[in-house]
Amino acid sequence: MSSPLPLSPTHTAAPGQGRLIPRLLIAAALLSSLLLVVIPLAYIFYRAFAAGWAAFAANILEPNTLHAVWLTVLVALVVVPVNVAFGIAAAWLVARFRFPGRGALLTLIEIPFSISPIIAGICYLLLYGRQGLLGPWLAAHDLQILFALPGIVLVTLFVTSPFVMREVLPLMQAQGSDQEEAAVTLGASGWQVFRRVTLPNIRWALLYGAILCSARAVGEFGGVSIVSGSIRGQTNTLPLQIELLFNDLNIAGAFAAASTLTLIALLALVAKVVLERRR
């Protein structure tokens, strides 16, 4: 009971000081996150619904915005399955086989993460554009890639290509190939091994990769802005429509479009938290 007495003043001061610093740091962290992340997020919905539900609905149902929603969904519907297939194939190749150039291939697959989307868009224009590498050939065969759906899809494929592989590969490597080898030894065909053994093992990582890929595909701006030509009501995806409305000074319309994309981003985050607990 009398133990506090012999303690020197510095020792009694220490615990108080020890509680003060954490509290200050936590307060600083909360405040800065509030200013940097939470308020901007809340502001999107505030501006989208500032004039009420009816105005919001009118902004979303505006024909060009509605067309942009449809085009964005269409692009994602093409891009995500292709990149899921690519992600599985590439992960299987890298995780299950040793071959010369394996490291180089892995670096190459990850390159879209280190290249800014705008540079990706420029690359595609320099390849398929009128003065581009394949431009004359495309013109001679009357093929339209740029300023049309194929160009938008191709750039989005580039930008989102590593997502699925990146989630699936570490899991495949960690799980090893014992189960699959056993299945092969027991006479299963390649397709059976994949469907009965591999797929159940990687399904959550695959789903998570597909969600990341979709979120990114839906929100892609820089790369798509270069190759789409931003033709109103034709090649405008939702992020491009936001810029167009912003430049038209239709800020309420821009925020209405932005809020739908934000909702998708938030859903992807929730899915991430849920799937991480599952694994």
Contact positions with other proteins (CB under 8 A) in 10-69: 17-18, 21-22, 25-26, 28-30, 32-33, 36-41, 43-44, 47
User: Which string of DSSP letters, residue by residue, matches 4-57?
Assistant: TTTS-HHHHHHHHHHHHHHHHHHHHHHHHHIIIIIHHHHHHHHHHSTTHHHHHH
Contact between 184 and other proteins per CB under 8 A: yes
Among 138, 226, 228, 235, binds other proteins (CB under 8 A): 226
Write down the number of H helices and E strands in the chain. 15, 0
Binding to other proteins (CB under 8 A): which residues in 120-149? 120, 122-127, 129, 131-134
Min separation Cβ 75 and other proteins, Å: 13
φ, ψ dihedrals at 5, nearest 5°: -60, -45
Min separation Cβ 171 and other proteins, Å: 16
Min separation Cβ 46 and other proteins, Å: 9
Residue 20: C-alpha distances to residues 29, 162, 276 (Å): 14, 45, 34
Contact between 171 and other proteins per CB under 8 A: no
Min separation Cβ 189 and other proteins, Å: 8
Alpha carbons 166 and 57: distance in angstroms, whole number: 38
Comparison of 183 and 205: residue with beta carbon closer to other proteins:
183
Comparison of 59 and 225: residue with beta carbon closer to other proteins:
225
145 Cβ contact list (under 8 Å, min separation 6): 128, 138, 151, 154
Binding to other proteins (CB under 8 A): which residues in 71-130? 85-86, 89-90, 92-93, 96-99, 105, 108-109, 111-112, 114-120, 122-127, 129
Min separation Cβ 121 and other proteins, Å: 8
Alpha carbons 57 and 60: distance in angstroms, whole number: 5
Going 90 to 91 to 92 to 97, the CA torsion angle's sign is: positive
Contact between 169 and other proteins per CB under 8 A: no
